[in-house]
Amino acid sequence: MKNCLAMLLLLSFSGPIWAQNKATSVNFETQTITIALTQEPPQLNGMKATDQVSILILSHVMEGLTRYDRRGNIVPGVAERWEINDKDATFWLREDALWSDGEPVTAHDFVFAWRNALKPETASEYAFILYPLLNGEAINKGEMDAARLGVEAIDDRTLHIRFERPTGYFDKLTAFVTYFPARQNFFESRDQRFGADATDLLYNGPFQISQWVHSASLRMTKNPYYWDRSNITLNAINADYITADTRSRLNLFIDGKIVSTELDGETYKDALTQRFRIRRFTTGTVFFLEYNHRDNRITRNLNLRRAIQHVFDPDEMVNKVLATPGNLPGKSLFPVWLKGKHDKFRQEYRAPEAPLDLNQARQYLAQAKAELGLATLPPLVLLVGDSPTAAKQAEYLQGKLKATLGLDIKIDIQTFKQRLAKMTAGEFDIVAAGWGPDFDDVMTFGDLLTSWNLNNRGRYNNPAYDEQVRIAMNSANPAVRMDAMGKVQQIVFDDAVILPQYEQGVIYLLHPALRGVVRRVVGADPDYTYAQVIELDQKD
Amino acid sequence: MLAYTLKRLLAGIITVWFIATATFMAMHMVPGDPLMNDKAVTAEIRKNLEIKYGLDKPVTEQYFIFMGNMLRGDFGISFTQQNRRVNDIIRDHFPVSATLGLLAIFFAATGGIIWGALTALYRNRLPDIIIMFLVILGISVPSFVFAALGQLLLVNINGLLGFSLIPVAGWGTFSHMLMPSLVLGLGTMALLTRLMRSSMLEVVNEDYIKTAKAKGLSPLRIFFKHQLRNAILPVITILGPSIAAITTGGFVVELVFAIPGLGRYFVQAVQQLDYTVIMGTTVFFGAFLVLMVILVDIIYGFVDPRVRLQ
């Protein structure tokens, strides 16, 4: 024990050495990589999966009608070609798309999976993503039989779809896990255990799960039946470590055991001293403060919200409070990466910005007080999660609003489930919230604050907002849709519905011998499908 | 003996029932909603989830249904892993925690007994002072600090050697278990060292030791046959609860070393309000603890014939 401690102290100061050549996380000869997962994938039934890790695994071992390529463009998956019209769409399936038992993937497998995902008994949290299908919403609400869903297998290789409303971006939806196929006879043979173990799933993607020891390891090997197998270089992706501890994962990376790991504020400093190349990536998620617009709340007052809008500085939030590279200052509900008509949406429709103006802010505040009939405002309840970052951000806001406007903020820190319960019940004035994209279209953000959206926890209700969203929803014309969304962006600003804080970025490490790893805002992230191990120069 | 064992078992069953009831009540009193997630769901979907998990019924009815199922040994389906039964989770992950825990206990017990005996032999001399200093350190430093330091140590050793001597994290081979079990056992080792020291010092002054010395027995024989055997009793008493605590309390160590043990499920279930997993793991761990205490009491009778079990 004594020796151990002395040695420990000695080694802690000696400075770690990383021998890249000894790394076992990549193997050039066998084209094998080892990764770590942050948690055990809780749900590998594609109809029900909602979390990042499950989606990551599923996107490697399954495939929908379409898929994303290396550059994030939609390319053929199980379908070799398709046609999307205002009212309907047709997908022609390729002949060589096979399940991992050698049987062909048919149009019936899609019909079965989509009907199942929408059935109320399935209780899928992502069912809403199938609502563009005719009668989808009605079936999900239990008002209609699943057989009346607007999808039909004309024959084994032709899938015909009828829409509830024009959905020009439908080929992006079909790349998402909820749209993945499932074969009826296999699904029924597994009963409640579908997706519970490696043998309780059929695979039709580039890889298949060959071994899964719960909470310990999950190994994926190249699927010999995959139609595009000649373009897949990796033979195996071994997730041999499952831990949420970022420091532990950094240690595994230093020891050459895993190819990649994400860093947080603390491990970032360590990675810097190790002189690793630090990469950055924007996750696509927008974080914002959501005001409570319910009648009994003072945050319902527009001038109060405008006052806060004129003192909040997203640049300061990103550079001084978050203080890790990769985050972008929040300027809009719509993140910078969304596509518009031809270019990026945010380039075509500039996000309006409120100048930092204390005098103006104070005027708004005075107006708010007059309208509310209050000489001093009661403390505002700021509801946040229980992570250290959330607390730091909340304290920053508390200090900022006190110093500039003299507003008192009461910080209410809650655990995940309790925060959700309070958000839903409306027990807050301001809540720190975030929204990540479900699919690659402006609508994934645009309809968030509509009166009918259940995720609109502040209960913002504005017919003008709803109308623009309806216009965009009922058109397949990009110009009409984007113009409507441009107006939505303006309304969100004018009404100060939310206060955008930042677009989330992550920083991560990646083994230099691994090329072709794709980071994505929607779907599998990171995507190792087209990755390959290259031979590193020994001097490297 | 048999009557005593039966009596203890009956008391144990009542204890477990009490644990289950208290946990059930506390769990339902915690604010928050187990069925709520990031994405809001429609009222219909919610209703279906409530039916699936029986949350649509009054709490008292839920309690009796739960107790009935528990008697049949069925803890239901996990809320977070909706296709996995809690029984499967316990069956898959408890052996991992148990293996790790037993090795930790082995380290703790051998270490504790050896260090404790040494400190007593070298009472108030340098070895005693150094070991007792480390003991205080071991008792006061929480296991997550040791876990992080232990892992860092391995990273640096492997870095210096240029190859992986001992794996930094993961599970599968014996070498994977070494560092985590050592870290896990450190606290208990320190506790046992202190206990062993005081009981050794007590024994040293007993008349039978003087008699043995007077008879001219060799010091080694006195040490092993008379001192150690008598001093070890209190250590055994504390070993029972320690086994349970170590086997169940490895959450942080499991997280840092990426070990698929039950401790992770135990803690995460509470954060996720996963009702069935909370109940399953708590009742299971509770029953395990009770069983260990009973076992130790029975073993005690064998080790010390003076103890009469009534």
CB contacts of A40 in chain B (<8 Å) are: 81
Distance, CA of A388 to CA of A416 (rounded, Å)? 13
Tell if the CB–CB gap between A255 and B257 is shorter than 8 Å. no
Of B34, B39, B169, the CB nearest to A252: B169
A45 touches chain B (CB under 8 A): yes
A169, pLDDT greater than 80:
yes
Mean predicted confidence (pLDDT) in A453-473: 94
A21, pLDDT greater than 60:
no
Tell if the CB–CB gap between B134 and A5 is shorter than 8 Å. yes
pLDDT score, position A199? 94
Q: Coil, helix or strand for A500?
A: strand
Distance from CA of B247 to the nearest CA of A (A): 17
pTM given for the model = 0.89
Of A8, A194, A251, the CB nearest to B168: A251
Q: Give which of B30, B130, B135, B158 to mutate to test A binding, by max A Cβ within 10 Å.
A: B158
Q: Cβ contacts of residue B61 below 8 Å, gap of 6+? A: none
A532 touches chain B (CB under 8 A): no
Interface of A with B in 94-153 (CB under 8 A): 120-128, 140-142
Of A123, A252, A421, the CB nearest to B32: A421
B304, pLDDT greater than 80:
no
A242 touches chain B (CB under 8 A): yes
Distance, CA of A165 to CA of A6 (rounded, Å)? 70
Please give the DSSP secondary-structure letter assigned to residue A497: -
pLDDT score, position A15? 42
Strand-pair category, A430-435 with A380-384:
parallel
Distance, CA of A414 to CA of A155 (rounded, Å)? 52
A1 touches chain B (CB under 8 A): yes
- Vertex B285 angle, CA B284 and B286, to 5°: 90
Tell if the CB–CB gap between B148 and A2 is shorter than 8 Å. no
Dihedral pair phi/psi, residue A294, rounded to 5°: -65, 155
- pLDDT tens track for B191-216: 999 999 998 888 888 888 888 889 88
> Under a CB-based contact definition with an 8 Å cutoff, are residues A254 and A18 in contact?
yes
Please give the DSSP secondary-structure letter assigned to residue B229: H
Strand-pair category, A498-510 with A430-435:
unpaired
> Under a CB-based contact definition with an 8 Å cutoff, are residues A396 and A384 in contact?
no
Tell if the CB–CB gap between B32 and A415 is shorter than 8 Å. yes
pLDDT score, position A10? 45
Interface of A with B in 196-225 (CB under 8 A): 196, 200, 213-217
- Of A449, A474, A442, A477, nearest to A348 by C-alpha is A442
Distance, CA of A509 to CA of A254 (rounded, Å)? 10
Interface of A with B in 52-91 (CB under 8 A): none
CB contacts of A424 in chain B (<8 Å) are: 33, 36, 40
Query: For the ranges B183-187, B243-247, B264-268, which has the lowest average pLDDT?
Result: B243-247
Q: Give which of B51, B56, B74, B84 to mutate to test A binding, by max A Cβ within 10 Å.
A: B84
- Of A329, A305, A304, nearest to A501 by C-alpha is A329
CB contacts of A121 in chain B (<8 Å) are: 48
B151, pLDDT greater than 90:
yes
B309, pLDDT greater than 60:
no
> Under a CB-based contact definition with an 8 Å cutoff, are residues A475 and A240 in contact?
no
Distance from CA of B171 to the nearest CA of A (A): 7
Cis peptide before A526 (omega within 30 of 0): yes
pLDDT score, position A14? 40
Distance, CA of B40 to CA of A453 (rounded, Å)? 9
State the complex-level ipTM.
Answer: 0.87
Mean predicted confidence (pLDDT) in A236-262: 93
- pLDDT tens track for A307-330: 999 999 999 999 999 888 889 999
Q: Give the chain A residue nearest B44 (alpha carbons).
A: A141
A3, pLDDT greater than 90:
no
Cα B14 from chain centroid? 21
Q: Percent of chain A beyond pLDDT 90?
A: 80
- pLDDT tens track for B57-80: 999 999 999 999 999 989 999 998
Please give the DSSP secondary-structure letter assigned to residue A221: E
What is the residue-averaged pLDDT of chain A? 91
How buried is residue A64: exposed, middle or buried, by Cβ count under 10 Å (0-12/13-18/19+)?
buried
The DSSP H or E segment spanning A257 is: none
Of B84, B160, B171, the CB nearest to A196: B84
C-alpha dihedral sign at A190, A195, A196, A201: positive
- pLDDT tens track for A329-363: 999 999 999 999 999 999 999 999 999 999 999 99
A10 touches chain B (CB under 8 A): no
pLDDT score, position B242? 81
